[in-house]
Amino acid sequence: MVLGDQLSDPLSALDGIDPARDVVLMAEVRAECTYVRHHKKKLVLVLSGMRHFAERLRQRGIRVDYIEFENPANTHTLRGEMLRAVERHRPERVLATLAGEFRITEDMSGWQQASGIATELLDDTRYLCGLRQFRHWADGRKSLRMEFFYREMRRRHAILMDGDQPAGGRWNYDAQNRKRMPAGIVPPVAPSFAPDRVTEAVIALVERNFGDHFGTVDAFSLPVTAEQAALALDHFVTERLSGFGDWQDFMRSGDPVLFHALVSTSLNLGLLDPLTICRAAERAWTEGLAPLNAVEGFIRQVLGWREYVRGIYWLNMPEYGRRNALEATRRLPEFYWTGQTRMNCMAQVVDDTRRNAYAHHIQRLMITGNFALLAGLDPDQVDEWYLIVYADAYEWVEMPNVRGMALFADGGIMGSKPYAASGAYINRMSDYCAPCAYDPKQSTGPQACPFNALYWDFMARHADRLGGNVRMAMPLQTLKKMEPGKVAALRAQTAGFLEAMDRGEVV
């Protein structure tokens, strides 16, 4: 059995496949399309990717038993389709690569008992750090910081290394990757892939069956085959990687892509291999096509961060999904879906997300994530929102990034501090503030940027809880030195804003 995010030729379940006797089962099931109400473009991406991969296997002479969504006999669960396939084919055994998400892997553990057929669940070898390797790295450590894991991964895979030392003499060039992009710079246009007949059929299917889901299918152009994904990667490496480093944290109205890679959908679907991506970026540096700060920053996201969040997820599940260290309970406001807010930064990012099923990492962390942190939004609802709205979101990568990195709900397993920021950060790292109804330089009053008062209210609410965190010492000391009247005014400003938001007013 091949799952929807396992569209890789070197998948462990396909290793040694014998076209003369083996059959591959793939199934489009409602349970996987609706366990959250996925963005329409996410559904098109996965279902079209599956259909293209099934044809790829057939061209290799492999028999594929493919269950389409609208097949009347479809049970619409993975287990149900596995059981029906067992009845049809009477196999000696069932092979499957373990799922990336905890809930599916838990279900898979009962497949043998349900079918009565020997079932072998294989490790997913497409990652650069196996789960056993990660557990070994984590064992006995008081702190599981990504930076130290990342250095070990660089050594293990000999990427950007000069002998046993990092290329250029430094492990991390993040300090060079936080620049404001000049207005006159025009990034290269990212490649797009027009829907073929297969994708067009899937678009129609999604509109018929999931027309009320978030987002739109208009202008769908994501890669759905390995060949398209390879072209997208090559374009990034040759055209945009050189500018990625300096401006990877910048946000600009109407341009969510800038110099970003746009390979995460292909990588998480299985159309691209992480080592191939890292080697391609490394070659760009050795061949003089991109500077080291850009290449290192990009490789850190793939080789370090992606592998690290997967390890954190499996090390801590299922308890991780229940963590709420800051005891946040406020419901998710409607503007996360509609974009109807006077905060231009939120309106821009939500609109980008609705149209594209994409926003880059700083938009996710420092706009939608930062607001959720400061406002005390319920981690369960925020988790679900991120899993719904982004085409590259699967729980193993989404949950640690949201519950750990953005919301600090894991109490510091991942992040050394809450990533809280005021309007000053947004003004520095975007062009969102100039046309906004709010002023990032004001903290109280009708034109005050809500992020400013929210920031200090957050500090005041959690001062005791965060008091022992050395990275929070400076803002907490600043809070202590504030005049009591100013603190009271900031907190009153926040209370009024949140009450209006909770009432459903446009804020």
For residues 16-40, average pLDDT: 97
pLDDT band at 499, cuts 50/70/90? very high
Average pLDDT score over residue span 204-233:
97
Distance between CA atoms of 507 and 501, rounded to whole angstroms?
Answer: 6
Q: Is the pLDDT of residue 32 over 90?
A: yes
Q: Per-residue confidence at 412, pLDDT binned at 50, 70, 90?
A: very high
Please count the CA atoms within 13 angstroms of the CA of 122 that sit on its side-chain side.
Answer: 18
CA distance 262 to 265: 7
Task: Note the pLDDT of residue 376.
Answer: 98
Radius of gyration of the chain (CA): 24
Q: What is the CATH number of domain 131-191+225-316?
A: 1.25.40.80
Q: Which of these, 331, 328, 330, 309, lies nearest to 320 by C-alpha position?
A: 309
With beta carbons less than 8 A apart as the criterion, state whether 362 and 256 touch: no
232 contacts 191 by C-beta, under 8 angstroms: yes
CA 389 to chain centre: 10
Tell me the pLDDT tens digit for each residue of 277-295: 999 999 999 999 999 999 9
Mean pLDDT of the chain, nearest integer: 96
- Sign of the torsion formed by the C-alpha atoms of 235, 238, 244 and 247: negative
Q: How far apart are CA 431 and CA 183, in angstroms?
A: 9
- At 293-351, the pLDDT tens digits run 999 999 999 999 999 999 999 999 999 999 999 999 999 999 999 999 999 999 999 99
Instruction: Look up residue 448 and give its DSSP letter.
Output: B
**Range with the poorest average pLDDT among 119-128, 147-156, 178-187, 257-266:** 178-187
Q: Are strands 93-97 and 23-27 parallel, antiparallel or unpaired?
A: unpaired
Average pLDDT estimate for 163-180? 91
Which tokens is 15 given? Answer: 């290793």
Separation CA 260–CA 246 (nearest Å) = 11
| pLDDT of res. 474 | 94
Look at residues 41, 42, 50 and name the one whose alpha carbon lies nearest to residue 11.
50
pLDDT higher than threshold 90 for residue 174: no
Give the residue range(s) of CATH 3.40.50.620 domains in the chain.
Answer: 12-122
Was domain 335-502 assigned CATH 1.20.120.50? Answer: no
Model confidence pTM above 0.85: yes
Q: What is the pLDDT of residue 176?
A: 84
The CATH fold assigned to 12-122 is Rossmann fold (3.40.50)
Mean pLDDT value of segment 87-96: 97
Give the closest residue to 405 by CA, choosing from 371, 370, 445: 370
Burial class, 391, CB count within 10 angstroms (exposed 0-12 / middle 13-18 / buried 19+) = buried
Residue-level pLDDT at 178: 85
The residues pairing with 66 across neighbouring beta strands, listed in sequence order, are 26
Contacts of 321 (CB under 8 A, 6+ apart): 102, 383, 399, 403
Q: What is the mean pLDDT of residues 6-28?
A: 97
